[in-house]
């Protein structure tokens, strides 16, 4: 199975940068995903990493180090609408996702 | 992009009722769909993997006779919560993987069904 850890909460001001870390222990790594989830809604896909390095997508970037079992999601130029829960999810070789508990980001 | 439709979005019913939730992939075919449950302030927990034309695969601790899954076509999976009780109240979310999509073929989620059993 997977053991996925991420911080519970983070707070930042509008226009700032926030980095959400995720560490994982896995049996059969097949990719790491970040999802955004607003309260009461379903998660929406943000980014995907399967090789080491940084993937950039507009204001959002995600980094992966497979040897360290570590990823982060970087949110730049924060906007009020970015207030949400951010979920780190690891995929196994059966294409099943295991989710972390989520990091609630509050933008003030 | 890939769209997954889930219906109904909200159900309130009496204890003992069976409730059916539908999950449809609207613009792609999905041989595999996934059903999750999410309790307040907790993360998504995978309940089962729905396979088109064959039996679903349930995660440990999930009762297959309680949560019936039928994946009758390449665009539709249904989850039936049989004889629901208050402890079954939760947010149920389905997802499907678009095999034709790039970027790691992520799972795309439906809007979820909020189930409240009185």
Tens of pLDDT, residues B41-93: 888 999 999 988 889 999 999 999 999 999 988 899 999 999 999 999 999 99
Q: Are A41 and B111 in contact (CB < 8 Å)?
A: yes
* Contacts with A41 from chain B: Cβ below 8 Å: 111-112
pLDDT, residue B7, reads 96
Q: Which of B1, B44, B105 to mutate to test the interface with A (most CBs of A within 10 A)?
A: B44
CA atoms of A66 and A58, how far apart (whole Å)? 23
Q: Which residues of A touch B (CB under 8 A)?
A: 31, 33, 35, 40-45, 48, 50, 87, 94-102
Size of chain A, expressed as the number of residues it contains:
108
Å between B66 CA and nearest CA of chain A: 21
Check residue A67 and give its pLDDT.
95
Q: How confident is the model at residue B103 (pLDDT cuts 50, 70, 90)?
A: low
What does the DSSP assignment read for B61-117? T--TTTEEEEEEETTEEEEEETT--GGG-EEEEEEEE-TT-STT--EEE---EEEEE
What does the pLDDT read at residue B105? 77
* Least confident range of B9-23, B36-50, B90-104: B90-104
Helix, coil or strand: residue A15:
coil
Q: For residue range A52-96, what is the model confidence (pLDDT) as tens digits?
A: 999 998 999 999 999 999 999 999 999 999 999 999 999 998 888
What per-residue confidence (pLDDT) applies to B40?
85
The region, left, alpha or beta by phi > 0 then psi within -120 to 50, assigned to residue A67 is: alpha
All residues at 6 or more sequence positions from B92 whose CB lies less than 8 Å from its CB, including other chains:
B21, B35, B36, B37, B38, B79, B81, B112, B113, B115
Q: Which phi and psi angles does A95 have, rounded to 5°?
A: 65, 20
The per-residue pLDDT for B97 is: 84
**What is the model's pLDDT at position A53?**
97
Whether residues A96 and B43 touch (CB distance < 8 A) is answered with no
Distances (CA, A) of B30 to A46, B4, B5, B79, B98: 20, 10, 13, 16, 6
Mean pLDDT for B19-36 is 93
């Amino acid at each position: 199975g997977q053991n996925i850890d991420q911080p519970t909460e983070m707070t930042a001001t509008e226009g700032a940068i926030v980095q959400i870390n995720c560490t994982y222990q896995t049996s059969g790594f097949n990719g790491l995903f970040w999802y955004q989830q607003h309260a009461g809604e379903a998660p929406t896909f943000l980014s995907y990493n399967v090789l080491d390095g940084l993937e950039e997508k507009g204001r959002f970037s995600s980094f992966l180090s497979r040897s360290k079992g570590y990823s982060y999601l970087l949110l730049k130029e924060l906007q009020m609408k970015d207030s949400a829960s951010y979920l780190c999810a690891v995929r196994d070789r059966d294409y099943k996702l295991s989710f972390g508990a989520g990091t609630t980001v509050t933008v003030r | 992009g890939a769209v997954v439709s889930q219906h109904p979005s909200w159900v309130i019913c009496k204890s003992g009722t069976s409730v059916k939730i539908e999950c449809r992939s609207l613009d792609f075919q999905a041989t595999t769909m996934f059903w999750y449950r999410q309790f307040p302030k907790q993360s998504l927990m995978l309940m089962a993997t729905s396979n088109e034309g064959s039996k679903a695969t349930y995660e440990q601790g999930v009762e297959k006779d309680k949560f019936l899954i039928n994946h009758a076509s390449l665009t539709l999976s249904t989850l039936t919560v049989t004889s629901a009780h208050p402890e079954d109240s939760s947010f149920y979310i389905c997802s499907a993987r678009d095999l034709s999509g790039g970027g790691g073929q992520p799972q795309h989620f439906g809007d979820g069904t909020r189930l409240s059993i009185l």
